[in-house]
Amino acid sequence: MSALRAALAAVPSGFDAPTADRAAVDAAAGPGAATYGELAEAAFLKLLRWLAPGPDDALYDLGSGTGLLVWLAALTTRVGRAVGIELSAFRHAAALAIRARLRRELGLGAIAAVELRNEDLRTTALGDATIVFAASTCFPDPLLAALARRLGGGAAPRLRTLISTRPLPQPWDRALPARGTLHVPATWAPRVRLYVHAGPRPR
């Protein structure tokens, strides 16, 4: 974990994204989409312990910032794939810089599970996703609706767990059965509610 903390400290954070980069994300995904925040490291670790991803799992963070969740998943669990989808070119570049540092420090094997894509969560391929996380608190309504529509509509047929920091809009909150809530700390609030859903009901 010390190698990850050193790498995170050495590269720009997701909060450092310049105005032009934020404007590009907002222009593409809607006002507010570029807003940044992270769950606390301890919160992600707690979540990962509960999820217990294994070699058959593909965990996606939709709007992954600099990739804290995918790094922690790769370094502390047996997850098969940990995929970060980030629209901001700046934050994606920071995640790539973290990867380069971890590769130097720990070797490729330690982070082989991680894939980073500078893509839009509305169009990126999700076919193998079994676990999806989205820090969706500041997503504009149409973006959250598009995400719920994709997952509820079968874009991730292997999905077993979806975790969102905002409740899903109707009718997708019913298509993806609610499993309960968890409370964890984040950079923007000491107690953030996570909405946990199962994969889509068979149709």
Ligand X SMILES: C[S@@+](CC[C@H](N)C(=O)[O-])C[C@H]1O[C@@H](n2cnc3c(N)ncnc32)[C@H](O)[C@@H]1O
Site string for ligand X, 174-203 (x = CB under 6 A): ------------------------------
Sign of CA dihedral 4, 190, 92, 162: positive
Of the candidate residues 85, 98, 129, 148, the single one contacting ligand X (CB under 6 A): 85
Buried-exposed string 58-87: b where 16+ CB fall within 10 A, e elsewhere? bbbbbbbbbbbbbbbbbbebebebbbbbbb
Tell me which residue of 126, 177, 171 sits closest to 150, measured CA to CA.
Answer: 126
Q: Does 68 bind ligand X (CB under 6 A)?
A: yes
Residue 87 in contact with ligand X, rule: CB under 6 A = yes
How, if at all, do strands 192-198 and 161-164 pair? antiparallel
Residue with structure tokens 């996570």? 194
Query: Rule CB under 6 A: is residue 14 a binding residue for ligand X?
Result: yes
Tell me if 120 contacts ligand X by CB under 6 A: yes
Q: Which is nearer to ligand X, 34 or 75 (CB)?
A: 34
- Of 5-13, 60-68, 73-81, 108-116, the segment contacting ligand X by CB under 6 A is 60-68
Q: State which of positions 140-179 bind ligand X (CB under 6 A).
A: 143
Give one word for 146, left, alpha or beta, with left for phi > 0 and alpha for psi -120 to 50: alpha
Q: Which element (helix H / strand E) includes 194?
A: strand 192-198
The single residue among 4, 8, 38, 161 that binds ligand X, judged by CB under 6 A, is: 38
Site residues for ligand X per CB under 6 A: 14, 25, 29, 33-34, 36-39, 61, 63-65, 68-69, 85-88, 91, 120-122, 135, 143
